[in-house]
Amino acid sequence: MKPRIHPVSRPVVFRDRAADVAFLARSTADSGERVTWEDGNTYPVIDVETSSASHPFYTGSRQVLDAAGRVERFRRRYGTEAPRG
């Protein structure tokens, strides 16, 4: 890698306000707000609205779409028939 062209990566705490969860990860993002982590060190903290702790895909509370019903509705609306074989 070329020197002095890449941003500095540092430990940052990401705090999910919706799930009241925080996790420590490496990032190039910085923040003026600081928080003391479980290890006793102080890290920049970035508040996020959605993380894997609160996103429906990861929590299992997502809605299951009826793909077959959607295909049939499309075919009825536009007059295409299902291939017969």
Q: Which residue has the higher pLDDT, 57 or 2?
A: 2
Average pLDDT over residues 6-25: 89
The pLDDT tens digits for 17-54 are 877 889 999 999 989 999 999 999 999 999 888 777 77
Q: Check residue 4 and report its DSSP letter.
A: T
The reported pLDDT for the residue numbered 70 is: 74
CA dihedral for 4, 12, 35, 31, sign (positive or negative): positive
The reported pLDDT for the residue numbered 12 is: 95
Cβ atoms of residues 9 and 43 within 8 Å: no
The pLDDT tens digits for 61-80 are 655 556 667 778 888 888 76
Q: What is the DSSP string of 17-40?
A: TTTTEEEEEEES---S-EEE-TTS
Q: Check residue 62 and report its DSSP letter.
A: P
